[in-house]
Amino acid sequence: MPSYHLFLLPGDGIGPEVMAEVEKVIHAFESDGLATFEIEKGLVGGCAYDAHGAAISDADMARAEAADAVLLAAVGGPKWASVPYEVRPEAGLLRLRKDLGLYANLRPAVCYPALASASSLKPEVVEGLDIMIVRELTGGVYFGEPKEIVDLGNGQKRAIDTQVYDTYEIERIGRVAFDLARKRGNKVTSAEKHNVMKSGVLWKDVITALHKREYADVQLEHQLADALGMQLVRWPKQFDVIVTDNLFGDMLSDVAAMLTGSLGMLPSASLGDQNPKTGKRKAMYEPVHGSAPDIAGKGAANPIAMIASFGMALRYSFGAGAAADRLDAAIASVLADGFRTADIKSDGCTLVSTMAMGDAIVSALGKSAA
């Protein structure tokens, strides 16, 4: 039986609540004989700042480096609103992504059949939806220098963020998108704003050249990022794979979340390059949502985004696609049986807590093993 080393970072707010549920799922797969999962836990975000004054310690960074996969739940919250910028909770998450080289963030937005009516859009707009947003995660305006607030000395300040992309960064994320498209609907939509931004001009040129050179068999379309936001809510089923930069990808994936019913439904995988010798890659699995301070501590959070993020770990880190499919089927069946956390509740359904949703998914998994 293979053995994997998982490093869990529950973080803040609803983070520990949803992490507790994915742990049940991990143990269920272990009991089934899929693999042995050696679990280690660390601190990231506000809880790490409270413990040692940094959003993640060097020791926990080293543990993340050494793990076969990292699972991170969520960071941040109003408690840390006034801590110094450099050690704010979100800095821990950004350091993990940057230092582990996790440049490819896969954010699938899938509308489970039972949730077509949970979306704020008409059911026919979202029914059967299955799109993949590929967000560049270690570049762009998130990390470009200079990034500072300058005192102009006349009572004015100037805030500077810098959007930077090099050819190689666009090419490697483009490859991830085209390779994924070949295994899905064979279509890539690339989003930028070449009408305003130099980085958009380069983005479009590099994606176009890469397509011509290596992926001419895949359908490629370009959309301006603002128009793509509109198309996502007008007719999202026109998309298969969307590839875009760090900031546009952040915003567009929150929009896409509502196509699936809730932000609490969207998982993600943050991946680095595969080592050609070992076949292994650095990877962190993290729901798209945040620490949801408004519902934290109430047992009301939807754990599905976190649980489905582990499903992505099964698929992308552990070569266990069949187990990932079983987990997806377990989630679908629990939803079909009418179990709903508050964010996806509808008339006639059974309102359940975070824990009860986790238990129901574990129980559905057990049935599929029998």
Under the rule (CB under 5 A), what is the footprint of Mn ion?
A: 250
Alpha-carbon distance of 94 to 308, in angstroms, equals: 21
Residue 302 known to bind ligand = yes
Is 245 one of the annotated active-site residues of the chain? Answer: no
Q: CA neighbours within 13 Å on the CB side: how many for 288?
A: 28
- Residue in 254, 325, 328, 359 annotated catalytic: 254
Q: Summarize as ranges the residues that interact with ligand IPM (CB under 6 A).
A: 76, 90, 93-94, 250, 288, 290
Of 69-77, 182-190, 213-221, 360-368, the segment contacting ligand NAD by CB under 6 A is 69-77
Alpha-carbon distance of 60 to 75, in angstroms, equals: 15
Among ligand NAD, ligand IPM, Mn ion, none, the one that 107 touches (CB under a kind-dependent 5 to 8 A) is none
Is 328 one of the annotated active-site residues of the chain? Answer: no
Question: Which residues, 6 or more positions from 367, have their beta carbon under 8 angstroms from its beta carbon?
Answer: none
Burial of 5 (0-12, 13-18, 19+ CB in 10 A): middle
Residue 78 known to bind ligand = yes
Among ligand IPM, Mn ion, ligand NAD, none, the one that 343 touches (CB under a kind-dependent 5 to 8 A) is ligand NAD
- Residue in 98, 187, 193, 237 annotated catalytic: 193
Alpha-carbon distance of 324 to 307, in angstroms, equals: 10
- Residue in 205, 226, 273, 337 annotated catalytic: 226
Which is it for the CA torsion 140, 231, 310, 92, positive or negative? positive
Q: Considering the complex, what minimum distance in angstroms separates the CB of residue 184 from ligand IPM?
A: 22
- In the window 186-225, what residues touch ligand NAD (CB under 6 A)? none
Tokens linked to 365: 């998994």
Tokens 């272990």 label which residue? 30
Residue 81 known to bind ligand = yes
Query: Does residue 90 touch ligand NAD according to CB under 6 A?
Result: yes
Burial of 157 (0-12, 13-18, 19+ CB in 10 A): exposed
Q: Considering the complex, what minimum distance in angstroms separates the CB of residue 250 from ligand IPM?
A: 5
- Residue in 4, 49, 112, 142 annotated catalytic: 142
Is 166 one of the annotated active-site residues of the chain? Answer: no
Site string for ligand NAD, 13-52 (x = CB under 6 A): -x--------------------------------------
Residue 95 known to bind ligand = no
Q: Considering the complex, what minimum distance in angstroms separates the CB of residue 214 from ligand IPM?
A: 28
Output 108 or 200, the one with its CB closest to ligand NAD.
108
Structural contact between residues 8 and 71, judged by C-beta atoms closer than 8 angstroms = yes
Is 142 one of the annotated active-site residues of the chain? Answer: yes
Question: Which residues, 6 or more positions from 157, have their beta carbon under 8 angstroms from its beta carbon?
Answer: 149, 150, 151
Question: Which residues, 6 or more positions from 203, have their beta carbon under 8 angstroms from its beta carbon?
Answer: 165, 170, 190, 192, 194, 245
Site residues (vs ligand NAD, CB under 6 A): 14, 74-77, 90, 93, 262-264, 286, 289-295, 301-302, 305, 343
Binding residue numbers for NAD(+) = 77-90, 290-302
The catalytic residue positions are: 142, 193, 226, 250, 254
